[in-house]
Amino acid sequence: MKKQLISTFILIAYSAILIKVMVFKDVPMIRIGSLMIYFGGSQTGPANLVPFKTILVYLLGEKGLVIGGINLIGNIILLVPVGLLGPLVFADITWKKMFVLAIATGFAIEGLQVLLRVGIFDIDDVILNGLGVMIGYWAFTVLGKKLRLMESKNIRIAVIIMMLVAAGAASYGLVLYQKGQFPLSLEPGPERGRSDRAEEGQGSGPSQGNDPCGGTGGLGQIVSTGNQAIIIQQRDGEKVMIKLTRQTTIRNSSGAILVSDLKIGSKVTIVTYQSDAEGNKIATAVLVCNAPNQGS
């Protein structure tokens, strides 16, 4: 009974974390070397009711292998703990009941996004989320059988080894972080207009002072401005129109700014975007780079 109560508390706490991360997308932007990844996108666009439509796009690498892998694996792995905790909370649960719970969990996450107007519905996310729950459940049943066959002494040894490996990895990571050599860092992400898609920043580099573009000079230079769009000339000379919405976050080294603060000649980085039905690129965030002679 005590184990069940503890498991129930953990499941409730983890569910709150899932709502924070997967529904409201309250997560930072991740910088890995020269790559910026943000789990957010525009909430505009039609819902996807066709199974495997977006999954196939990511599997085929049409949005990049890194982004495809992050979206697919992320939507699965975040739900695995639910499957692991399910049998501990509901002792008599069967795989059929777990399957219903898995599908219901996916629909709940997507439904909350639509209801709260913080994202769009995607049936493929329901499939991936449900798969994550079932993987957790299957892992629990397999591990449970193996643990029952193992001697208690061997279990203690395995736990001690795992703890030592985790402690060693954490210590090594802390040393790298203190030396400024840790390859991964977290930065504030855009605050509005999110979906559950990981998007890849373009033209980003290692952080340099308070420059939002990381000292790279940006993706391109603004050559035309308007209330709902800007045109930037990329480094290769190509001009691209970027649409802006009320959910688009715009900021410079001082913080959030207005659309009217975007000036011709400013160098910018489009952190994330997605295309609308007409193929136009919609900005989720526009970062205005520091001038070359501007200090941090």
pLDDT per residue as tens digits for the range 103-134? 999 999 999 988 988 788 999 999 999 999 99
pLDDT at 82: 95
Please state which architecture CATH assigns to domain 202-288: Beta Barrel (2.40)
Mean pLDDT of all residues belonging to the chain: 78
> For 262-283, what is each residue's pLDDT tens digit?
999 999 988 765 666 666 788 8
- Using DSSP's 3-state secondary structure scheme, residue 201 falls into coil
What is the pTM (predicted TM-score) of this model?
0.60
**Residue ranges, CATH 2.40.50, the chain:** 202-288
d(CA 118, CA 99): 27
